[in-house]
Amino acid sequence: MLGTKKITAGGPSKDRARIGQTVAARLDANPRMQPALVGAAQAYYHLDFLNPTQCDTLIRIIDGNRRPSTLLSDRPEREDYGFRTSESCDMDRWSPDVQPIDDSIADLLGLPAVSGETMQGQRYAPGQQFRAHHDFFHENQKYWPEMRRSGGQRTWTAMIYLNDVEEGGATWFPEAGLRVAPRRGLLLAWNNMSADGSPNTLTLHEGMPVVQGVKYIITKWFREGTWLR
């Protein structure tokens, strides 16, 4: 029941609607950004956003810091189903290897760097996956008061694939009808909010299991307010 899901995830918001419009206008004006979706959600991609040297640097950092990924959910049963089996790490935003990339992503979207959460590095070995989820916060869950204090709702997500994967590992949006295969340097960005600023349930997505090879990505989640204090 889509209607019920919408209500429990959160309601409309003028501020979030405005963020959606201003970021989309900026991306529409950027000749290197291509629309990835029409209708269901605002989504764009940029080929070769990072060069191979930048990708290799981030991969090296992920390999040096990775640990089992965690989930932000009130539903402990998700742990049992192998919901998010990848390994991940926080990428130190003050590191000279990370900061320029962090800033360039914020600049691409036109969002303040301080609204971005700490960049996440993720590594998926064969069989590992991140099952279907929304990046936005469900405002009826226990974690929400804390998330509201730390910058509020997540608006845009930016993801970058750091390598080509031999088989599997696509990012799949089953409800919006989009499947993106990993490609070194490709940045994919989407708005987790609808036009009225409410959470857009059509942004449901999953990191499909890697079949062959290893998949490395970084993810940036942007908040409606200030995350970094």
Q: Which residues bind Fe ion (CB under 5 A)?
A: 135
- 219 sits near ligand AKG (criterion: CB under 6 A): yes
- 135 sits near ligand AKG (criterion: CB under 6 A): yes
Q: State which residue, 106 or 210, has the beta carbon closest to ligand AKG.
A: 210
Q: State which residue, 14 or 67, has the beta carbon closest to ligand AKG.
A: 67
DSSP secondary structure code for residue 176 in this structure: T
Whole-angstrom distance, CA of residue 48 vs CA of residue 66: 24
- 205 sits near ligand AKG (criterion: CB under 6 A): yes
Contacts of 79 (CB under 8 A, 6+ apart): 71
Q: CA torsion 4→133→39→45, rounded to 10°?
A: 160
Whole-angstrom distance, CA of residue 170 vs CA of residue 114: 29
Whole-angstrom distance, CA of residue 152 vs CA of residue 224: 6
Written as six digits, the tokens of 86 are 């990848």
- 136 sits near ligand AKG (criterion: CB under 6 A): no
Q: State which residue, 12 or 192, has the beta carbon closest to ligand AKG.
A: 192
- 184 sits near ligand AKG (criterion: CB under 6 A): no
Q: What's the min distance (Å) between Cβ of 64 and ligand AKG?
A: 19
Size of the site for ligand AKG (CB under 6 A): 7
Contacts of 33 (CB under 8 A, 6+ apart): 27, 44, 45, 46, 108
Q: Report the residue from 13, 128, 153, 171 that binds ligand AKG according to the rule CB under 6 A.
A: 171
The listed partner (ligand AKG, Fe ion, none) that binds 207, CB under 5 to 8 Å by sort, is: ligand AKG
Neighbours of 27 (CB within 10 A): 23
Q: What's the min distance (Å) between Cβ of 191 and Fe ion?
A: 13
Q: What's the min distance (Å) between Cβ of 135 and ligand AKG?
A: 5
Written as six digits, the tokens of 53 are 């040297």
Whole-angstrom distance, CA of residue 39 vs CA of residue 181: 21
- 203 sits near ligand AKG (criterion: CB under 6 A): no
62: left (phi over 0), alpha (psi -120 to 50) or beta: alpha
- 217 sits near ligand AKG (criterion: CB under 6 A): yes
Q: Report the residue from 151, 152, 207, 209 that binds ligand AKG according to the rule CB under 6 A.
A: 207
The residues of the shown chain that bind ligand AKG, judged by CB under 6 A, are: 130, 135, 171, 205, 207, 217, 219
